[in-house]
């Protein structure tokens, strides 16, 4: 049995290229899949830790007027018998510039089921304790071994209380006693908020706003769609990788048919032969999967900081930049790779099991088999297309924003259908061309030869098609999004300077600015949390959705440029209604609730209830929440929302520098809150670019995998090709023509693949823009196409194919004719 | 003297997870005010009132502990407990400077109302600094006030020259899923303060360690009690214990049994049994027989016997809920029996505390009521 296995494996000693291709396919597929799974696992771990921390399980109390709470408020409420606990939250900068969240708690009053209730003597008294997760240590330049008891120094020379590791804490978060936090943050007797056990308070005490824990969205919910996106990309890479694997396996079996028959003839039972092939698959699979998982983890480590930054800026979800991998991650990665490999190899095993001992390994016979295979592929492709069609019909009847999974399913079916149709289409095209080329024997030969090559090229071409169209689809979507987003930023950021004055100085700064000659108008904003109670034409449909209430000043400069997606009776009328107290809502909220201009909304914020009419819907890219827009004065008066930032619009000829200096002097230490428009745009654009870093990276990697697949399949059959070319050379065809015909053959096939990839890519873009983005983010983007991207796709296809042909062609060029003939004689 | 067990248990709670060995800085080796250590309870300490009604932050632990045997208008008996515990978080030498949130003391309050099979319990915590008296919890000697949140025991005496401790008001309420429970009571002292042991020094172990312990056992109580949302007018008798110490239970001391009894004769009777810690590893017993005029007769080891008669299964434990208390010199042979066995205090430090009836061991006639506390089971 061992001898038989050794015999089977000896094939790879003679054809190391095939072994390399097999392992490469497995390795790449498993690496991309593992890296995305590692990223997802780490992120989910971070969410779980964030949710386990008290902040999401507790109701919050803040002051209605936006001023900070103090210890006196806490004592007053406790003496009134209310079970509230003080919480202090702030940021500290570490010597390496990382910003860490400091949370100060009072464990003696913190509601019972939170992990800190009860506390300990050392936690409560000097020098106190800093509790932190091990993945926060690098920001403090402390190693895990030195961590317990270490007192890292901060940039201002002060030291943190001695460290105590608490792995269940969220990343970049330091939890300590409120007395220690108050000292570090210089916050005196002020508090960030009061918290209480969920539903412990029946109503908000006078002057305070109560936010129920149930209305605070957990990060895991928001980010689920983002992770689904990543998983879909990883699945794509896995499929492309498995295409390579299947191509390589098919080739290896093809070339070993003779060997298998010999083994059968020598008495190895058919069942044992299949078992041996299976064993070979598992061995290869283990090697490929392990290599893939190791490099996947490495890749994830490289990508994770970008993903963490993206999730933070997009959803405000804190994700550790260090990998946190549970044990099932490793098993899962291995299982998926092996499962995929067995799926890809099942065809090979099937064929080996039905191997006829007496059959002859003829290319012609194989071709007949291929014809049947082509018919099967066309049928399977049609089935995929029909399934896709059914999904599409189902999706069309869903409310917008639903069916993220179905959307991915639809796109997967589309890609698979096209990939399956590709070989029959190519075969059909070749047959047609061959009929046309009857007059030119060499062309006819080249076409027939390509037909013969097709079975081996088909899988690589299919992988290339999928990768190319996914690449085109994703880059068009990102490109289109980028243009829309930048445009939208320009429309929204109309003021020259933005300022967030401290609440206690707001009126003073506002009045001072209003009197400055440089200032044309002030665009005041306010924000508060609200609940959208009911909505609909008569505001009776109960929704109970947490939303943001955002107040803007409908000023001269802002109104003309603020983008609106749909209105009841035109922009002019919408703004007129807005000034009169009507509301706008963002696209996310409109999609989630199905509200349209003309409907009425009942809002509850800060204990006040108000019904307003809906005048328009506006785009709001990058915002994870539903938002209701009202005029600032109305928000201040009806809901008593605290003052927010001020947009300062300057006269055309005003001297910005003078105003900045004067304002800086006026603000004193608060001048850090002054930003100019360019800065705001730069930060927003940076966030945007980071959002798609991971998408681009995975996309490029997938295309790279497909290119490798094509490259590898061409290389693997190079030797055999030379043997087939030898008779032509012997018949007097010059080598230059042979090489050119080679390049044209493969380049042509790749170009045909690329051409099919273009409409498919556009369909993918449309799917991403119309289904996936709407469901994942709540924004619908205009479909934009970039001819440059399309040309690049075609060029990539041809370039990859040519590159993969050039190497064997070079060898052909250099091989002495005698050697070619000799190869022909020795099969 | 009562709840020495509580002392150890509370210390265990507050120092939970803390590696610092509580016994090392109690000054066992150096009695008295060891450098940086806590002040130790010592014989010969002269108590001064009203100052000593206030906190003693230089000692490790202290409590204000009220129990009451009451009846409602229909004559149905009920019991209640209200306790404020203070635990020093650091020794006086390590005490941090006061700041808005800086703490050197932890406070814990328990309240309970019991009637028939119903037993409602609540517990709250607070931080405090010994140099601030405006905190979430605290005690002030004059005019007397002891509070944690809205739970409050305070003086009703307005005249600054009168005894601030003669008339108190107790107010506490806890919302719960049964409709809430609590009380609003007026307490009037009908007798003097009683110092236990040697003029207030109560020995706890055979080797002479102890605490400062005095009581006000003569409270007449009127007011109203709410149980499961239903409020009833009540009246009856109460017993308030004051105790502070820097000792913790020694390793061989496993727990505590304590009774405080109001006899129908007008006498009051306190007795405790510290399991372990006596001569040759035996129990350490102590008692005090208080005449209606407040004259106290301490009864030392050997002068009394406290013997379990039968047990009940409570919270998974066999608890002795029927006792025999014998004081031969006083001619007393009593049976002390819990009104109901379900009086488990499922608080962070759990123990048994509930009302008892007192009857004659031989004749069986009813002789009074009181409270029983059992810890360390």
Tell me if chain A has a CB within 8 Å of the CB of B173.
yes
pLDDT tens-digit readout, A76-91? 999 999 999 999 988 8
Please report whether residue B251 resides in a domain.
yes
Residue B370 has a pLDDT of 97
Q: For residue B50, what are the domain limits?
A: 4-27+38-375
Partner residue opposite B103 with nearest CB, options A75, A124, A188: A124
Domain residue ranges of chain A, discontinuous segments joined by +: 1-68+223-361, 82-191, 362-490+684-827, 497-683
Is residue A40 less than 8 Å (CB to CB) from chain B? no
Beta bridge mates, B138: B147
Inter-chain touch B18–A120, beta carbons under 8 Å: yes
Q: Which residue has the higher pLDDT, B371 or A791?
A: B371
B132 domain-assigned: yes
Q: Which residues, at least 6 apart from B44, have a Cβ–Cβ distance to it below 8 Å?
A: B198, B199, B201
| Residue B135 at interface with chain A, using a CB cutoff of 8 Å | yes
By C-alpha distance, which of B350, B351, B330, B328 is closest to B258? Answer: B351
DSSP H or E segment with residue B270: strand B268-277
B32 within some domain: no
Structure tokens at A671: 């001048």
Tokens for B177, please give them. Answer: 């899923």
Nearest to A179 among B102, B134, B136 (CB): B102
Residue B257, helix vs strand vs coil: strand
Query: Over the stretch A310-368, which tens digit does the pLDDT of each residue have?
Result: 666 656 666 666 666 777 777 877 888 888 888 878 877 777 777 665 554 454 455 56
Token pair listed for B90:
């650091």
Lowest mean pLDDT among A216-220, A295-299, B40-44: A216-220
Most B-contacting residue of A74, A81, A104 (CB-CB within 10 A), to test interface:
A81
Contact assignment for A81 to B150 by CB distance below 8 Å: yes
Q: A188, B18: Cβ pair inside 8 Å?
A: no
Kindly list the distances between the CA atom of residue A688 and the CA atoms of A684, A692, A773, A777, B124, in Å, as whole numbers in the listed order.
Answer: 6, 7, 15, 13, 49
- Residue A91 Cα, gap to closest chain B Cα (Å): 19
How many Cβ atoms are within 10 Å of A527's Cβ, its own excluded? 18
Which of A412, A413, A410, A423 lies closest to A376, judged by CA?
A423
Q: What is the CATH number of the domain that holds B18?
A: 2.40.370.10
**What does each C-alpha distance from A734 to A434, A438, A452, A726, A728 come to in angstroms?**
22, 21, 22, 11, 9
Instruction: Please tell me if residue A165 touches chain B, with a CB cutoff of 8 Å.
Output: no
A797-818 mean pLDDT? 74
B39 touches chain A (CB under 8 A): no
Element (H, E) at A579: helix A570-579
Task: Return the minimum-mean-pLDDT range out of A164-173, A385-394, B312-321.
Answer: A164-173
Provide the pLDDT confidence category of residue A46 given band limits of 50, 70 and 90.
Answer: confident
Residue at B18 is within a domain: yes
For residue B150, what is the nearest residue in chain A, using CA coordinates? A79
Contact A307, A43 (CB under 8 A): yes
> Average pLDDT for residues A435-445, to the nearest whole number?
80
Q: What is the reported pLDDT for B20?
A: 31
Q: Is the pLDDT of residue A26 over 70?
A: yes
SS3 call for A614: strand
Chain A touched by B90 (CB under 8 Å): yes
Q: Is residue A64's pLDDT more than 50?
A: yes
Of B94, B100, B127, the CB nearest to A108: B127
3-state SS, A393-411, equals HHHHCCCCCCCHHHHHHHH
Selection from A630, A629, A623, A628 nearest residue A779 by Cα: A623
For an interface test with A, give the residue of B86, B98, B100, B111 to mutate (most A CBs within 10 A). Answer: B100
Note the pLDDT tens digit of each residue in A502-519: 777 888 888 888 888 888
Among B14, B99, B135, select the one facing A179 at the smallest CB separation.
B99
Q: State both tokens at A169.
A: 């804490």
pLDDT recorded at residue B21 = 33
Number of domains in chain B: 1
Nearest alpha-carbon partner for B107 in B71, B69, B139: B139
Per-residue pLDDT tens digits for A246-275: 777 777 777 787 788 888 788 888 788 888
CA A609 to chain centre: 39
Q: Could you tell me if A500 and A684 are in contact, meaning their C-beta atoms sit under 8 angstroms apart?
A: no
Predicted confidence (pLDDT) per residue in A285-295, tens digit: 888 888 888 88
With beta carbons under 8 A apart, name residues in chain B contacting A86.
Answer: 101
Lowest average pLDDT, out of A445-449, A780-784, B7-11, goes to B7-11
Interface mutation target, options B101, B138, B182, chain A, most CBs of A under 10 Å:
B101
Residue B232, beta-bridge partner list: B225
Contact A108 B125 (CB under 8 A): yes
Determine the angle formed by the axes of helices A270-315 and A2-14, rounding to 10 degrees. Answer: 60
Q: What are phi and psi of B44, to 5 degrees?
A: 90, 0
What is the reported pLDDT for A794? 84
Question: Least CB-CB distance to A78: which of B16, B96, B149?
Answer: B149
pTM of this structure: 0.66
Among A572-576, A650-654, B61-65, name the one with the lowest average pLDDT: A650-654
B159 lies in some domain: yes
Q: Are A617 and A564 in contact (CB under 8 A)?
A: yes
Among A217-231, A456-470, A500-514, A555-569, the least confident range: A217-231
* Under 8 Å between Cβ of A131 and A180: no
Tokens 């707001």, residue? A506
Answer whether B14 touches A (CB < 8 Å). yes
- Determine whether the interchain pair A125/B15 forms a contact, defined as Cβ–Cβ distance below 8 Å: no
Residues B89, A109: C-beta atoms closer than 8 Å: no
Q: Please state the rounded mean pLDDT for residues A674-690.
A: 74
Taking Cα atoms as reference points, which of B73, B84, B77 lies closest to residue B170? Answer: B84
pLDDT of residue A782: 77
The residue with greater pLDDT, B82 or A500, is: B82
Q: Do A75 and B125 touch (CB under 8 A)?
A: no
For the segment A422-440, the average pLDDT, to the nearest whole number, is: 84
* A121–B89 C-beta distance less than 8 A: yes
pLDDT tens per residue across all 377 residues of chain B: 333 334 444 443 333 333 233 333 332 333 333 435 888 888 888 999 999 999 999 999 999 999 999 999 999 999 999 999 999 988 898 899 988 899 999 999 999 999 999 999 999 999 999 988 889 999 999 899 999 999 999 999 999 889 999 999 999 999 988 999 999 999 999 999 999 988 899 887 767 778 899 999 999 999 999 999 999 999 999 999 999 998 766 667 788 899 999 999 999 999 999 887 666 667 888 899 999 999 999 998 788 999 999 999 998 999 999 999 999 999 999 999 999 999 999 888 889 999 999 999 999 999 999 999 999 88
Contact B221, B186 (CB under 8 A): yes
The count of CB pairs under 8 A between chains A and B is 77
Q: Which residues numbered 60-89 in B keep a CB inside 8 Å of some CB on A?
A: 89
Across the interface, of B96, B100, B106, the residue whose CB is closest to A108 is B106
Distance from CA of A316 to the nearest CA of B (A): 30
Minimal Cβ distance to A179: which of B103, B125, B135: B103
């Amino acid at each position: 049995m061992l001898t038989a296995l050794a015999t089977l494996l000896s094939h790879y000693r003679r054809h190391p290229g095939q072994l390399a291709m097999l392992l490469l396919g497995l390795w790449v597929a498993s690496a991309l899949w593992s890296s995305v799974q590692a990223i997802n696992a780490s992120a989910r771990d971070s969410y779980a830790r964030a949710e386990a921390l008290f902040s999401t399980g507790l109701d919050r109390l803040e002051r209605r007027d936006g001023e900070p709470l103090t210890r006196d408020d806490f004592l007053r409420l406790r003496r009134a018998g209310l079970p509230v606990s003080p919480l202090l939250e702030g940021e500290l900068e570490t010597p390496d510039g990382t910003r860490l969240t400091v949370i100060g708690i009072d464990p003696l009053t913190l509601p019972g089921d939170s992990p800190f209730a009860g506390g300990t003597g050392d936690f409560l008294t000097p020098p106190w304790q800093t509790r932190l997760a091990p993945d926060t240590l690098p920001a403090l330049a402390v190693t895990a071994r030195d961590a317990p008891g270490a007192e890292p120094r901060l940039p201002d020379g002060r030291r943190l209380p001695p460290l105590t590791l608490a792995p269940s804490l969220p990343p970049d978060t330091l939890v300590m006693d409120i007395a220690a936090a108050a000292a570090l943050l210089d916050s005196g007797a002020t508090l960030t908020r009061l918290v209480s056990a969920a539903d412990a308070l029946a109503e908000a005490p006078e002057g305070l706003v109560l936010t129920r824990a149930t209305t605070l969205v957990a990060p895991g919910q928001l980010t689920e769609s983002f992770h689904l996106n990543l998983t879909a990309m990883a699945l794509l890479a896995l499929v492309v990788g498995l295409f390579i694997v299947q191509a390589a396996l098919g080739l290896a079996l093809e070339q070993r048919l003779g060997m298998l028959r010999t083994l059968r003839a020598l008495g190895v039972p058919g069942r044992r032969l299949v078992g041996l092939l299976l064993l070979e698959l598992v061995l290869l699979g283990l090697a490929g999967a392990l290599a893939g998982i190791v490099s996947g983890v490495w890749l994830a480590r490289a990508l994770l900081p970008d993903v963490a930054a993206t999730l933070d800026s997009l959803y405000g979800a804190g994700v550790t930049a260090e990998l946190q991998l549970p044990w099932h991650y490793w098993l899962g990665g291995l299982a998926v790779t092996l499962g995929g490999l067995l799926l890809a190899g099942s065809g090979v095993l099937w064929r080996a099991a039905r191997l006829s001992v007496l059959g002859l390994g003829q290319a012609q016979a194989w071709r007949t088999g291929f014809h049947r295979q082509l018919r099967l592929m066309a049928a399977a492709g049609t089935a995929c297309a029909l399934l896709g069609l059914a999904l599409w019909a189902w999706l069309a009847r869903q409310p917008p924003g639903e069916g993220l999974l179905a959307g991915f399913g639809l796109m997967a079916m589309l890609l698979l259908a096209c990939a399956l149709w590709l070989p029959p289409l190519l075969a059909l095209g070749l047959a047609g061309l061959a009929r046309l080329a009857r007059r030119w024997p060499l062309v006819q030969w080249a076409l027939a030869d390509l037909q013969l090559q097709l079975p081996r090229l088909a899988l690589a071409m299919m992988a290339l098609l999928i990768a190319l169209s996914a690449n085109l689809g994703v880059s068009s979507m990102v490109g289109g999004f980028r243009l829309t987003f930048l445009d939208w930023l320009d429309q929204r950021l109309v003021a020259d300077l933005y300022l967030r004055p401290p609440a206690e100085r707001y009126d003073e700064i506002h009045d001072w600015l209003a009197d400055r000659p440089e200032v044309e108008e002030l665009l005041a904003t306010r924000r508060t949390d609200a609940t959208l109670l009911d909505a609909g034409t008569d505001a009776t449909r109960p929704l109970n959705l947490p939303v943001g209430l955002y107040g803007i000043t409908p000023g001269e400069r802002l109104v003309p440029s603020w983008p609106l997606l749909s209105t009841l009776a035109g922009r002019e009328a919408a703004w007129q209604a807005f000034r009169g107290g009507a509301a706008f809502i963002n696209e996310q909220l409109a999609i989630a609730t199905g509200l349209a201009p003309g409907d009425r909304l009942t809002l509850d914020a800060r204990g006040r209830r108000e019904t307003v009419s809906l005048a328009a819907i506006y785009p709001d890219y990058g915002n994870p929440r539903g938002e209701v827009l009202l005029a600032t004065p109305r928000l201040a008066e009806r809901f008593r929302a605290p003052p927010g930032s001020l947009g300062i619009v300057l006269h055309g000829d005003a001297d910005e520098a003078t105003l900045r200096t004067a304002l800086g002097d006026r603000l004193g230490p608060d001048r850090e809150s002054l930003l100019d428009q360019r800065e705001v745009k730069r930060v927003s654009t940076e966030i945007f670019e980071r959002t798609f870093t991971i998408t681009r990276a995975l996309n490029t990697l997938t295309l790279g995998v497909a290119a490798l697949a094509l490259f590898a399949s061409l290389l693997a059959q190079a030797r055999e090709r030379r043997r087939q070319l030898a008779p032509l050379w012997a018949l007097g065809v010059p080598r230059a023509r042979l090489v050119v015909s080679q390049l044209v053959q493969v380049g042509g096939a790749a170009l045909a693949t690329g051409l099919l990839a273009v409409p498919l890519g556009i369909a993918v873009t449309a799917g991403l823009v119309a289904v996936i983005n709407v469901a994942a983010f709540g924004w619908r983007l205009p479909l934009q196409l970039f001819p440059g991207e399309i040309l690049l796709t075609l060029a990539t296809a041809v370039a990859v194919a040519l590159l993969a042909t050039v190497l064997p062609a070079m060898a052909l060029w250099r091989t002495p004719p005698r050697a070619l003939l000799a190869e022909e004689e020795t099969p | 003297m009562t709840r020495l067990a509580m002392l150890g248990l509370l210390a265990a709670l507050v120092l939970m997870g803390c590696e610092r060995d509580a016994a090392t800085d109690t000054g066992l080796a150096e009695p008295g005010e060891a450098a940086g250590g806590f002040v130790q309870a010592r014989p010969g300490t002269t108590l001064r009132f009203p100052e000593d009604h206030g906190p003693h932050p230089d000692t490790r632990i202290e409590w204000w502990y009220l129990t009451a045997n009451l009846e409602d208008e229909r004559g149905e008996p009920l019991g209640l407990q209200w306790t404020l515990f203070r635990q020093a978080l650091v020794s006086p030498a390590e005490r941090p400077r006061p700041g808005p949130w800086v703490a050197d003391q932890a406070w814990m309050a328990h309240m309970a109302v019991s009637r028939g099979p119903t037993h409602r319990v609540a517990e709250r915590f607070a931080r405090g600094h010994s140099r601030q008296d405006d905190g979430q919890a605290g005690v002030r000697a004059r005019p007397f006030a002891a509070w944690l949140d809205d739970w409050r025991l305070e003086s009703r005496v307005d005249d600054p020259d009168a005894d601030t401790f003669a008339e108190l008001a107790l107010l506490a309420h806890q919302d719960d899923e049964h409709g809430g429970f609590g009380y609003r009571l007026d307490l009037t002292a009908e007798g003097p303060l009683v110092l236990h042991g040697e003029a207030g020094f109560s020995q706890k172990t055979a080797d002479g360690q102890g605490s400062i312990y005095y009581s006000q056992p003569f409270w007449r109580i009127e007011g109203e009690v709410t149980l499961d949302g239903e409020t009833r007018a009540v009246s009856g008798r109460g017993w308030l214990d004051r105790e502070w110490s820097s000792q913790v239970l020694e390793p061989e001391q496993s727990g505590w049994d304590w009774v405080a009894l109001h006899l129908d004769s007008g006498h009051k009777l306190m007795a405790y049994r510290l399991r372990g810690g006596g001569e040759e590893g035996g129990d350490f017993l102590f008692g005090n027989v208080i005449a209606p005029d407040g004259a106290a007769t301490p009864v030392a080891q050997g002068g009394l016997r406290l013997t379990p008669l039968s047990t009940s299964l409570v919270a998974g434990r066999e608890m002795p809920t029927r006792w025999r208390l014998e004081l031969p010199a006083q001619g007393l042979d009593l049976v002390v029996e819990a009104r109901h066995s379900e009086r488990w205090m499922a608080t962070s430090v759990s123990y048994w505390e509930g009302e008892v009836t007192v009857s004659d061991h031989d004749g069986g006639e009813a002789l009074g009521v009181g409270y029983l506390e059992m810890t360390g089971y």
